[in-house]
Amino acid sequence: MKVLVTGGAGFIGSHLVDRLIEEGHEVLVVDDLSTGKKKNINKEATFYKMDILSSRLERVFQKERPEIISHHAAQMDVRKSVSDPAFDAKSNILGLLNLLECAVKNGTRRVVFASSGGAVYGEQITFPATESHATAPLSPYGVSKLSSEHYLYYYQKVCGLEYAALRYANVYGPRQDPFGEAGVVAIFTQKLLKGEQPTINGNGMQTRDYVYVKDVIEANMAVINRKVSDTFNVGTGIETSVNQLFQNLLEITESDLKEIHGSEKKGEQKRSCLDAKKIYSDLEWEPTVSLKEGLKTTVDYFRSK
Protein backbone atom coordinates (compact mmCIF):
# COMPACT_ATOMS: atom_id res chain seq x y z
CA MET A 1 0.00 0.00 0.00
CA LYS A 2 0.98 3.62 -0.41
CA VAL A 3 0.87 5.38 2.96
CA LEU A 4 1.30 9.11 3.62
CA VAL A 5 2.64 9.90 7.10
CA THR A 6 2.30 13.49 8.24
CA GLY A 7 4.84 14.38 10.91
CA GLY A 8 7.02 11.55 9.62
CA ALA A 9 10.20 13.32 10.73
CA GLY A 10 9.00 13.47 14.32
CA PHE A 11 9.28 11.14 17.29
CA ILE A 12 6.38 8.72 16.74
CA GLY A 13 5.93 9.37 13.01
CA SER A 14 9.51 8.44 12.10
CA HIS A 15 9.24 5.12 13.96
CA LEU A 16 6.04 4.39 12.06
CA VAL A 17 7.69 5.20 8.72
CA ASP A 18 10.49 2.73 9.52
CA ARG A 19 7.97 0.02 10.40
CA LEU A 20 5.86 0.58 7.29
CA ILE A 21 8.91 0.36 5.05
CA GLU A 22 10.02 -2.77 6.88
CA GLU A 23 6.60 -4.27 5.97
CA GLY A 24 7.13 -3.39 2.31
CA HIS A 25 4.76 -0.43 2.01
CA GLU A 26 5.51 2.63 -0.13
CA VAL A 27 5.79 5.60 2.24
CA LEU A 28 5.43 9.34 1.71
CA VAL A 29 6.42 11.79 4.44
CA VAL A 30 4.95 15.30 4.77
CA ASP A 31 6.66 17.36 7.46
CA ASP A 32 7.56 21.04 7.76
CA LEU A 33 10.52 20.21 10.06
CA SER A 34 9.34 22.78 12.62
CA THR A 35 9.83 20.16 15.33
CA GLY A 36 10.76 17.03 13.37
CA LYS A 37 14.30 16.29 12.23
CA LYS A 38 15.34 15.40 8.69
CA LYS A 39 17.84 12.84 10.04
CA ASN A 40 14.87 10.85 11.42
CA ILE A 41 13.39 10.26 7.95
CA ASN A 42 14.00 6.84 6.46
CA LYS A 43 16.00 7.15 3.22
CA GLU A 44 13.53 4.87 1.43
CA ALA A 45 10.62 7.26 2.06
CA THR A 46 9.64 10.04 -0.37
CA PHE A 47 9.88 13.32 1.54
CA TYR A 48 7.87 16.51 0.98
CA LYS A 49 8.91 19.46 3.15
CA MET A 50 5.54 21.07 3.62
CA ASP A 51 3.09 22.43 6.17
CA ILE A 52 -0.20 20.51 6.17
CA LEU A 53 -1.97 23.89 5.84
CA SER A 54 -0.26 24.52 2.50
CA SER A 55 -2.33 24.82 -0.67
CA ARG A 56 0.43 22.77 -2.33
CA LEU A 57 -0.66 19.70 -0.36
CA GLU A 58 -3.30 18.83 -2.95
CA ARG A 59 -0.60 18.56 -5.63
CA VAL A 60 1.08 15.88 -3.53
CA PHE A 61 -2.20 13.96 -3.36
CA GLN A 62 -2.86 14.37 -7.08
CA LYS A 63 0.61 13.06 -7.90
CA GLU A 64 0.95 10.29 -5.32
CA ARG A 65 -2.64 9.11 -4.67
CA PRO A 66 -1.98 7.67 -1.18
CA GLU A 67 -4.37 4.93 -0.08
CA ILE A 68 -3.91 5.59 3.63
CA ILE A 69 -2.98 8.64 5.72
CA SER A 70 -1.36 8.38 9.14
CA HIS A 71 -1.78 11.83 10.64
CA HIS A 72 0.83 12.64 13.30
CA ALA A 73 1.64 16.26 12.40
CA ALA A 74 0.35 18.53 15.18
CA GLN A 75 0.85 21.47 17.47
CA MET A 76 1.34 19.33 20.59
CA ASP A 77 2.43 21.78 23.28
CA VAL A 78 -0.42 22.04 25.79
CA ARG A 79 0.96 25.25 27.31
CA LYS A 80 1.32 26.82 23.87
CA SER A 81 -2.32 25.94 23.16
CA VAL A 82 -3.38 27.74 26.35
CA SER A 83 -1.39 30.87 25.52
CA ASP A 84 -2.43 30.90 21.85
CA PRO A 85 -5.64 28.91 21.23
CA ALA A 86 -6.05 30.33 17.71
CA PHE A 87 -2.62 29.03 16.65
CA ASP A 88 -3.46 25.62 18.08
CA ALA A 89 -6.79 25.49 16.23
CA LYS A 90 -5.21 26.63 12.98
CA SER A 91 -2.55 23.92 13.10
CA ASN A 92 -4.60 21.06 14.49
CA ILE A 93 -8.12 21.64 13.15
CA LEU A 94 -7.65 23.56 9.89
CA GLY A 95 -4.60 21.43 9.08
CA LEU A 96 -6.67 18.28 9.49
CA LEU A 97 -9.48 19.69 7.33
CA ASN A 98 -7.04 20.50 4.53
CA LEU A 99 -5.77 16.94 4.73
CA LEU A 100 -9.26 15.40 4.73
CA GLU A 101 -10.42 17.48 1.77
CA CYS A 102 -7.36 16.37 -0.21
CA ALA A 103 -8.04 12.77 0.80
CA VAL A 104 -11.68 12.79 -0.32
CA LYS A 105 -10.90 14.45 -3.65
CA ASN A 106 -8.07 12.07 -4.49
CA GLY A 107 -9.33 8.63 -3.53
CA THR A 108 -7.67 8.05 -0.13
CA ARG A 109 -9.69 5.38 1.68
CA ARG A 110 -8.54 5.53 5.32
CA VAL A 111 -7.12 7.97 7.86
CA VAL A 112 -5.36 6.92 11.07
CA PHE A 113 -5.34 9.81 13.51
CA ALA A 114 -3.01 10.32 16.49
CA SER A 115 -5.30 11.57 19.24
CA SER A 116 -4.61 11.97 22.97
CA GLY A 117 -6.25 9.98 25.75
CA GLY A 118 -5.08 12.26 28.53
CA ALA A 119 -6.07 15.46 26.74
CA VAL A 120 -9.56 14.47 25.55
CA TYR A 121 -10.74 12.91 28.85
CA GLY A 122 -9.53 15.76 31.07
CA GLU A 123 -9.63 14.99 34.79
CA GLN A 124 -10.69 11.35 34.91
CA ILE A 125 -13.56 10.12 37.03
CA THR A 126 -12.85 6.40 36.67
CA PHE A 127 -9.50 4.60 36.36
CA PRO A 128 -8.41 3.38 33.93
CA ALA A 129 -10.60 5.32 31.46
CA THR A 130 -12.42 3.41 28.74
CA GLU A 131 -13.39 4.97 25.41
CA SER A 132 -16.87 5.63 26.84
CA HIS A 133 -15.47 7.87 29.60
CA ALA A 134 -16.76 11.44 29.51
CA THR A 135 -14.68 13.73 27.30
CA ALA A 136 -14.01 17.02 29.09
CA PRO A 137 -10.75 18.49 27.74
CA LEU A 138 -9.10 21.15 29.91
CA SER A 139 -6.88 22.71 27.23
CA PRO A 140 -7.36 24.03 23.69
CA TYR A 141 -5.02 21.20 22.61
CA GLY A 142 -7.46 18.65 24.03
CA VAL A 143 -10.38 20.48 22.42
CA SER A 144 -8.62 20.36 19.03
CA LYS A 145 -7.96 16.62 19.33
CA LEU A 146 -11.57 15.89 20.28
CA SER A 147 -12.87 18.19 17.52
CA SER A 148 -10.67 16.31 15.05
CA GLU A 149 -12.25 13.02 16.09
CA HIS A 150 -15.70 14.52 15.40
CA TYR A 151 -14.58 15.69 11.96
CA LEU A 152 -13.29 12.20 11.19
CA TYR A 153 -16.67 10.75 12.14
CA TYR A 154 -18.41 13.28 9.89
CA TYR A 155 -16.18 12.52 6.90
CA GLN A 156 -16.76 8.80 7.41
CA LYS A 157 -20.53 9.17 7.50
CA VAL A 158 -20.86 11.70 4.69
CA CYS A 159 -17.89 10.88 2.43
CA GLY A 160 -17.19 7.22 3.24
CA LEU A 161 -13.64 7.94 4.43
CA GLU A 162 -12.66 5.20 6.90
CA TYR A 163 -10.84 6.30 10.05
CA ALA A 164 -9.27 5.08 13.26
CA ALA A 165 -8.61 7.55 16.08
CA LEU A 166 -5.91 6.29 18.44
CA ARG A 167 -6.04 7.96 21.84
CA TYR A 168 -2.44 7.66 23.01
CA ALA A 169 -1.37 7.55 26.62
CA ASN A 170 2.05 9.11 27.44
CA VAL A 171 4.33 7.83 24.70
CA TYR A 172 8.08 7.63 25.37
CA GLY A 173 11.15 6.12 23.77
CA PRO A 174 14.11 6.80 21.45
CA ARG A 175 14.00 9.98 19.33
CA GLN A 176 11.73 11.84 21.73
CA ASP A 177 12.70 15.50 21.99
CA PRO A 178 14.32 16.27 25.37
CA PHE A 179 14.17 20.02 24.78
CA GLY A 180 10.40 20.50 24.44
CA GLU A 181 7.68 21.03 27.03
CA ALA A 182 6.32 17.50 26.61
CA GLY A 183 8.10 14.19 27.14
CA VAL A 184 9.15 13.94 30.79
CA VAL A 185 11.07 10.69 30.19
CA ALA A 186 13.28 12.31 27.54
CA ILE A 187 13.71 15.50 29.59
CA PHE A 188 14.69 13.68 32.79
CA THR A 189 16.95 11.22 30.94
CA GLN A 190 18.88 13.91 29.10
CA LYS A 191 19.46 15.91 32.27
CA LEU A 192 20.49 12.92 34.39
CA LEU A 193 23.00 11.74 31.79
CA LYS A 194 24.50 15.24 31.67
CA GLY A 195 24.63 15.49 35.47
CA GLU A 196 22.09 18.32 35.44
CA GLN A 197 19.38 18.55 38.09
CA PRO A 198 15.84 17.80 36.85
CA THR A 199 12.93 19.50 38.59
CA ILE A 200 9.72 17.65 39.36
CA ASN A 201 6.61 19.83 39.03
CA GLY A 202 4.62 20.01 42.25
CA ASN A 203 4.63 17.08 44.67
CA GLY A 204 5.30 14.50 41.94
CA MET A 205 2.30 12.40 42.91
CA GLN A 206 0.59 13.09 39.58
CA THR A 207 0.32 9.87 37.57
CA ARG A 208 0.56 8.97 33.91
CA ASP A 209 0.21 5.85 31.78
CA TYR A 210 3.59 5.43 30.04
CA VAL A 211 3.48 3.40 26.82
CA TYR A 212 6.61 2.56 24.82
CA VAL A 213 6.80 3.92 21.28
CA LYS A 214 7.31 0.52 19.61
CA ASP A 215 4.05 -0.70 21.18
CA VAL A 216 2.30 2.40 19.85
CA ILE A 217 3.64 1.64 16.37
CA GLU A 218 2.19 -1.87 16.52
CA ALA A 219 -1.20 -0.37 17.43
CA ASN A 220 -0.92 1.78 14.30
CA MET A 221 -0.05 -1.25 12.20
CA ALA A 222 -3.08 -3.09 13.59
CA VAL A 223 -5.50 -0.40 12.38
CA ILE A 224 -3.67 0.27 9.11
CA ASN A 225 -4.03 -3.38 8.15
CA ARG A 226 -7.75 -3.67 9.05
CA LYS A 227 -10.92 -2.10 7.66
CA VAL A 228 -12.14 -0.27 10.74
CA SER A 229 -13.77 3.05 11.67
CA ASP A 230 -13.60 3.54 15.41
CA THR A 231 -11.79 5.13 18.36
CA PHE A 232 -9.29 3.18 20.47
CA ASN A 233 -7.26 3.83 23.61
CA VAL A 234 -3.58 2.94 23.31
CA GLY A 235 -2.05 2.54 26.76
CA THR A 236 -1.01 0.06 29.43
CA GLY A 237 -3.66 0.61 32.09
CA ILE A 238 -0.88 1.14 34.66
CA GLU A 239 -0.46 4.38 36.61
CA THR A 240 3.06 5.55 37.45
CA SER A 241 3.75 8.67 39.50
CA VAL A 242 6.36 11.18 38.36
CA ASN A 243 8.27 10.47 41.58
CA GLN A 244 8.41 6.74 40.80
CA LEU A 245 9.43 7.44 37.22
CA PHE A 246 12.25 9.66 38.47
CA GLN A 247 13.47 6.97 40.87
CA ASN A 248 13.46 4.39 38.06
CA LEU A 249 15.54 6.69 35.88
CA LEU A 250 17.96 7.43 38.73
CA GLU A 251 18.58 3.71 39.07
CA ILE A 252 19.02 3.06 35.34
CA THR A 253 21.31 6.06 34.76
CA GLU A 254 23.20 5.33 38.02
CA SER A 255 22.85 8.99 38.95
CA ASP A 256 23.34 10.28 42.49
CA LEU A 257 21.23 13.41 41.94
CA LYS A 258 18.44 14.09 44.41
CA GLU A 259 14.69 14.44 44.01
CA ILE A 260 14.02 18.20 43.73
CA HIS A 261 10.51 19.65 43.47
CA GLY A 262 9.42 22.93 41.92
CA SER A 263 6.13 24.76 41.59
CA GLU A 264 3.03 22.99 40.36
CA LYS A 265 2.14 23.71 36.74
CA LYS A 266 -1.28 25.28 36.17
CA GLY A 267 -3.80 23.00 34.51
CA GLU A 268 -1.72 19.84 34.87
CA GLN A 269 -3.83 16.71 35.28
CA LYS A 270 -3.58 14.86 38.57
CA ARG A 271 -4.08 11.36 37.22
CA SER A 272 -4.27 9.79 33.77
CA CYS A 273 -4.56 6.12 32.83
CA LEU A 274 -6.15 4.36 29.83
CA ASP A 275 -8.04 1.11 29.48
CA ALA A 276 -6.98 -0.63 26.23
CA LYS A 277 -9.25 -3.69 26.41
CA LYS A 278 -11.23 -2.58 23.34
CA ILE A 279 -8.28 -2.55 20.95
CA TYR A 280 -7.20 -5.92 22.32
CA SER A 281 -10.68 -7.37 21.83
CA ASP A 282 -11.16 -5.93 18.33
CA LEU A 283 -7.63 -5.98 16.92
CA GLU A 284 -5.61 -8.21 19.28
CA TRP A 285 -3.20 -5.42 20.22
CA GLU A 286 -1.68 -5.19 23.66
CA PRO A 287 1.50 -3.57 25.04
CA THR A 288 4.47 -5.92 25.30
CA VAL A 289 7.24 -3.67 26.64
CA SER A 290 7.37 -3.14 30.41
CA LEU A 291 8.16 0.31 31.78
CA LYS A 292 11.50 -0.86 33.18
CA GLU A 293 12.53 -2.42 29.86
CA GLY A 294 11.37 0.59 27.85
CA LEU A 295 13.15 3.07 30.11
CA LYS A 296 16.39 1.09 29.86
CA THR A 297 16.22 1.07 26.05
CA THR A 298 15.45 4.79 26.04
CA VAL A 299 18.37 5.60 28.36
CA ASP A 300 20.69 3.48 26.21
CA TYR A 301 19.59 5.46 23.15
CA PHE A 302 20.25 8.84 24.76
CA ARG A 303 23.54 7.61 26.17
CA SER A 304 24.68 6.56 22.68
CA LYS A 305 23.90 10.07 21.39
Q: Which residues are catalytic, by number? A: 141
Q: Where are the beta strands (DSSP E) in the chain?
A: 2-6, 26-31, 46-49, 68-71, 110-116, 162-168, 170-172, 200-201, 207-208, 210-212, 230-234, 240-241, 261-262
Q: What b/e string do you get for 219-256 counting C-beta neighbours within 10 Å, with b at 16 or more?
A: bbbbbbeeebbbbbbbbbbbbbbbbebbebbbebbebe
Torsion, Cα of 236, 237, 243, 249 (10° steps): -20
Q: What are phi and psi of 266, to 5 degrees?
A: -60, 135
Which residues are registered as beta bridge partners of 256? none
